[in-house]
Amino acid sequence: MERVNPGSPNSFTATDIAVAVDTDADELAELAAATFPLACPPSSPPAEVATFIADNLSRERFADYLADPSRTVLTARAGGRIIGYAMLIDGAGTDPDVARAVSLRPAVELSKLYVLADSHGAGVAAGLMDAAVRRAARAGARCVWLGVNQENRRAQRFYGKHGFAVAGTKTFSMGTHTEHDYVMLRPL
């Protein structure tokens, strides 16, 4: 278990960051269902958001993610409950837009980083980010990359504060709806 150093700029109290285990799947699915819509722009059709959650953020999908050796899910806990999570995926995937934007290899994708709304501003996201970057660096990655909706300025500012810069663009399909993302990259 990684503990954030109390007194550091990214400290938060009563929170532990650890690698998720199979028994966390239910709680992760609940957290994902509550937090994913917060990152979607208002133009995202609610039915498409709900379908995406059901198809990609269910308990069964999290069980698959936790069993996948190319993925690592980190959890942040406070008071015994998961209040945030991050998912790392080895590589740059197969999207040609991402391949053009992510020139440093080996790469690790920060696929998800979500925190419950009542914990925003408490340093939880920063703690998860720091743990994710350290983990990627220890694994030998030369960079961490992510996709962020072009309308999600708050997330873009957060990622910029953590050393990420826009390296390209890509699309993100949510059912029949297409979102436009920036590909942001942080060299390690």
Task: Answer yes or no: is 5 within a domain.
Answer: no
Task: Answer yes or no: is 1 within a domain.
Answer: no
- Give the residue from 148, 118, 147, 144 showing the smallest Cα distance to 131: 144
Task: Answer yes or no: is 2 within a domain.
Answer: no
pLDDT computed for residue 9 by the predictor: 41
Task: Answer yes or no: is 6 within a domain.
Answer: no
What pTM was estimated for this model as a whole? 0.90
Structural domain count, the chain: 1
pLDDT computed for residue 132 by the predictor: 97
pLDDT computed for residue 19 by the predictor: 97
Local structure of 65: helix, strand or coil = helix
CB 63 within 8 A of CB 85: no
Task: Answer yes or no: is 161 within a domain.
Answer: yes
pLDDT computed for residue 14 by the predictor: 41
What's the average pLDDT block by block, 10 residues per block, for the chain (188 residues)? Answer: 42 72 98 94 91 96 98 95 97 96 97 95 94 97 97 96 98 88 98
β-pair partners for 88? 72, 110
- Amino acid, single-letter form, for residue 133: V
Q: Strand 81-90: give its sheet, edge to edge.
A: 15-19, 71-78, 81-90, 107-115, 143-149, 177-187, 165-174
What CATH number does residue 111 fall under?
A: 3.40.630.30
pLDDT computed for residue 10 by the predictor: 42
Task: Answer yes or no: is 37 within a domain.
Answer: yes
pLDDT computed for residue 3 by the predictor: 45
Strands (E), 6-106: 15-19, 71-78, 81-90
Q: What is the dihedral of CA 59, 92, 47, 119, to 10 degrees?
A: 60
Range of the domain at 77: 15-187
Please spell the DSSP secondary structure of 15-42, one letter per residue.
EEEEE--GGGHHHHHHHHHHHHHHHS-T
Question: In sequence order, which residues have a C-beta less than 8 Å from that of residue 5 and are 6 or more positions away?
Answer: 11
* 42-75 per-residue burial string, b: 16 or more CB within 10 A, e: under 16: eebeeebbeebbeeebbeebbbebbeeeebbbbb
Task: Answer yes or no: is 9 within a domain.
Answer: no
pLDDT computed for residue 175 by the predictor: 82
Task: Answer yes or no: is 10 within a domain.
Answer: no
Question: Which residue, chain included where needed, has tokens 């696929």?
Answer: 111
